[in-house]
Structure 1
């Protein structure tokens, strides 16, 4: 994250990528569609959109100052979680991570490509998140960035937009770059698939566990979410898995991450 203008330096514990692959959750490799668009293009677009969002929030006096207790709390969590990111994506070492808090009643948070994190006060205040629950949210959002779900979605859009003929030839990065630019406005409102959300739940849970946050908080988090989202459409009409499905997946994978949590707490 950027704290007073200085980029966070990542210190990767243990054996990094090999450690992540050897223990914890298994969600497979990143989608091949991520290779259809350059990561640098998407990360640059994300940085621009994030900066614009912060400017708009500041103009509305909705951007938390560096001494805000909730922002300090979030940045402290990020300092613990981010060092474990390289186990999932080596590119994270070069990201200029940022964590900001925006005053809004929205129950939402996100991490854009390149490590641009934002929480809305609504998710903290309305759900009354504990540190463990907030860390699960942060881990989930960071997981979307590490697994390059936005890049995957744009890769699929680019594949559709430029046609199979071009893809069967040597990829013309100029046209692909233009296609990504056209889809760039989606970054702040991008809808992930149910499989993306499920994957982010598991990877985020592992990130939180490795950072010393109790992964069992994922259960209470989604119980709170279920209460807050009463009246939401059933699973088959939504891009998000049903709360009961998420809880079941989390509980099924707890045995894989609880030892990581115990080790982190012991350390």
Structure 2
């Protein structure tokens, strides 16, 4: 009875704060407490570092951190972000709740300059800013004791653990296909454009980044966005938003935000 009561209290407390609004004004259902999402993100990140080699290329790692830091320093929430470059040929990147960012070495072959890299990093941070992982986790595990999910991450490779990684946006790497929805992708694209523009990266390079992505993948979306909008749809969406974000870019440049990451 005590255990059932604990679950009930957890769910009831979560329900009181379940109604939220995304940075773009969309209504959301967020059941998971922020500190719990941060703990799950940190635990998942620690496991990734154990399983995937961190690149020993200090120059490339510094470059990635420079781009990421330029973006994170513009965020309203002041927290430290851990950024690592992972030795992996997949053109991939991710950001997790709790201030964790990962970029694969393979992405550097596609993102040809700092603004193109900022496009991807800004997009991934956009998912975190909009709490998309929380939104998916809330829908997937609303009937489970959320406190048990943290322990599941560090345990054996179970369906629950795979589901958690998938909800965090890491499904493709862990054999589970639960990608961000097109709604989430479009939202992260817009937030990412805003973030990179505010940091002084040229949002027009987002178009070139996706042209490169299309070329590198034979016209198909990259693996980590396998069910996302087509490259043409994404490029058209980004182009339509450029008039809205270019003033942010111009304002950042006027204020002296001129990243020089290499």
Q: TM-score scaled to structure 2, two decimals?
A: 0.74
What residue number does 1:120 align with?
104
Deviation at 1:158, TM superposition (A): 2.2
Does the 8 A contact of 1:38 with 1:177 survive in 2? Answer: no
Q: What does residue 12 of structure 1 align with?
A: none
Q: Which has the higher contact order (CA 8 A, sep 6+)?
A: 1
1:105 match = 89
RMSD (CA atoms): 2.2
Change (3 A) 1:185 1:209: closer
Q: How many residues get paired?
A: 212
Cα distance in 1 for partners of 2:113, 2:220 equals: 24
Q: CA deviation at 1:43?
A: 1.3
Contact conserved, 1:85 with 1:146, CA < 8 A, in 2?
Answer: no
The answer for the alignment partner of 2:251 in structure 1 is: 263
1:140 to 119, 123, 131: 123
Gaps of 5+ in 1: 1-25, 87-91, 163-174
1:41 aligned onto 2:36: yes
1:152 maps to which residue? 135
Q: Tell me the residue number matched to 2:55.
A: 64
1:164-218 superposed Cα distances (whole Å, 9 cap, x missing partner)? xxxxxxxxxxx34336754434332251101111111110011000010000011
> In the TM superposition, what are the counterparts of 1:113-262 in structure 2 within 5 Å?
113-125=97-109, 127-159=110-142, 161=143, 175-178=145-148, 182=160, 183-186=163-166, 187=168, 188-189=170-171, 191-230=179-218, 232=220, 239-262=227-250
Q: For residue 229 of structure 2, give the secondary structure of its aligned residue in structure 1.
A: coil
- In the other structure, the counterpart of 1:55 is 50
Contact 2:89–2:106 (CA<8 Å) still a contact in 1?
Answer: yes
Q: Secondary structure at the match of 1:230?
A: coil
Report the 3-state secondary structure (helix = DSSP H, G, I; strand = E; otherwise coil) of the residue aligned with 1:84.
Answer: coil
Q: Write the deviation string for residues 60-107 of structure 1: whole angstroms up to 9, x where unpaired.
A: xx3124x71111111111221112222xxxxx43x4411100111101
Q: Give 1:231 deviation, angstroms.
A: 5.8
| Structure 2 gaps, min length 5 | 1-22, 153-159, 172-177, 256-262
Q: Is the aligned partner of 1:84 residue 2:85? A: no
Q: State the distance in 1 between where 2:214 and 2:24 align.
A: 25
